[in-house]
Amino acid sequence: MKKERLINIEILRIIAMVFVVLLHYLGKGSTLLAWGDPAFGVNTWIAWGLESFALVAVNVYVIISGYFLVESDFKINRIIKLWFQIFFYSAGIWLLFLALGMVPADYSGGYWISMFLLPVTSGHYWFASTYIFVCLIAPFLSVAARKMSKRQLQTCIVVLLILFSRVWRIVLPMSTPIDDRGYGIFWFATLFMIAAYIRLYVPKTGNWIKPFLVYVISSVLLFLSLPALGTITVFVGKMEKYYRVFFEYNAPFTIIGAIALFLAFRNMNIKAEKLGKVIRLISGATFGVYLIHEHTLLRSMWSGVWKVQEYYQTDYFVPHCIAVVACVFVVGILIDLIRRLLFAGITKIFRLEKIGKKISAVDKFFNNKAEEK
C-alpha cells in the first residue's frame, strides 16, 4: 500500500488514542456512577454516553496493528524498540519522581522497583504487556491465517469469539475462567485473526457511511443496555453489577462497533498530501501518550491535578472533559516526539544500527515463507 492510502488509518489510530484518554478520564475520574446511585444525574448520563462511543478504542488499536502485521515481515528490532519505549517511560518517570522526592511511601520497596524496571513482565501497563506478547506471536498467527482457507479462517474466528468473548457471561450470569474481559492475550489474538480476515478477504468498497452507521448504532445500543439491564437488576434485587455486562472490550456491541469503525475508515479515501507527514508523525507518537498518562505514579492526576470530581457535577463538566483530554493528548504527543529525537541521537552516537542489523538476522527464520507454498 502507498503511504497516501494509509492516512485514513493513521487518523483512526489517533482517534483511538484520544478515546483511550477519554476512557481514563471517565473511569479514573469516577464519573461512571453505578446504576441506582443517588447522585446519578444528567452528567452521569453524558459520561456513560461518552463511554459507550469510546469503548471501541482498544479493539480498534489492536485491529489496526493486526491488519498491517498479518502481511508484513517480522522484525525483531520493532519489538526491541517497543520494549525500550515502554522501559523509558516506566523507569524514566519513576526516576524523575524519585529525584524530586515525589514518590509516595506506598510505592517504595522491591515490588515497586521491579514494577518500574521490568514493566513488560510485571504488567505495569496491562495493554503494553499484552500487546508486546501478541507482537511476539504475530508471525505464527500470520502464517496460520494465510495457510487457512477463507472458510477455515471464518470458523477459527467464530470459535475464538465463542471461547473468549463475553457471550457466556451475558447469556448465563456467571464468570468463566477463560473470560478475561478483553484484557488478555487470547482476546488480542482473536482481534488479530479478525484483522487478518479483513486484510485477506474483505475488499475495500469505498462506502464508509454504512459501516460508520453500524458503529453508531452499536454504540447507541451499548448505551441503552445500561438503563435496560439496570432496571432489571433493580427489579430482581440481585446481580448488582450485571447492568454493565456489555461494557467490556470483548462484549458484542463493542466488538461490532470496533470492526465497523475500522471498516469505515478503511473505506475512506482521504487525500491530505500536505498534512500526511504531520498525521503520520502524530500517529507514530500515540503509544507514548498511553505510556505517559497511564504510568502508576501519574494515574492519580485525574483527581489530584485535573480535579475531575470537582467539575463532574457542574455545568462545566463537558468543556472540562474536552479541555483535559486534549491537553493530556497534546502534551503526551510532544513528549514522545522529543523522546524519539533523543533515541535517534543515541542510536547515531553509539552506532546502534550495526547491532540492530546483527540482531535482525533472526528475522530470516520467521520471514522464510518458502514452506508455506
pLDDT per residue as tens digits for the range 171-191 = 666 666 677 889 999 999 999
Q: Is the pLDDT of residue 350 over 80?
A: no
Nearest to 43 by CA among 309, 242, 324, 329: 309
Q: Is the pLDDT of residue 362 over 80?
A: no
Q: CA distances (Å), 221 to each of 41, 225, 226, 340, in order? A: 20, 6, 9, 41
Q: Is the pLDDT of residue 159 over 80?
A: yes
CA end-to-end span of the chain? 23
Lowest-confidence pick of 102-106, 315-319, 331-335: 102-106
pLDDT-derived band at 361 (thresholds 50, 70, 90) equals low
Q: Which residue has the higher pLDDT, 244 or 10?
A: 10
pLDDT-derived band at 133 (thresholds 50, 70, 90) equals very high
Chain length of the chain: 373
Global pTM?
A: 0.92
Q: Is the pLDDT of residue 64 over 60?
A: yes
* H or E element at residue 362: none
Q: Which residue has the higher pLDDT, 365 or 21?
A: 21
Q: Which residue has the higher pLDDT, 353 or 84?
A: 84
Q: Please provide the average confidence, as pLDDT, over all residues in the chain.
A: 90
- pLDDT value of residue 372: 47
- What does the pLDDT average to over 16-28? 97
- pLDDT value of residue 101: 92
Alpha-carbon distance of 48 to 218, in angstroms, equals 14
Lowest-confidence pick of 236-250, 316-330, 354-368: 354-368
3-class DSSP state for residue 246?
Answer: coil
Q: Is the pLDDT of residue 167 over 50?
A: yes
- pLDDT value of residue 1: 47
Q: Which residue has the higher pLDDT, 299 or 242?
A: 299
* H or E element at residue 354: helix 352-359
- What does the pLDDT average to over 147-169? 91
* H or E element at residue 11: helix 7-28
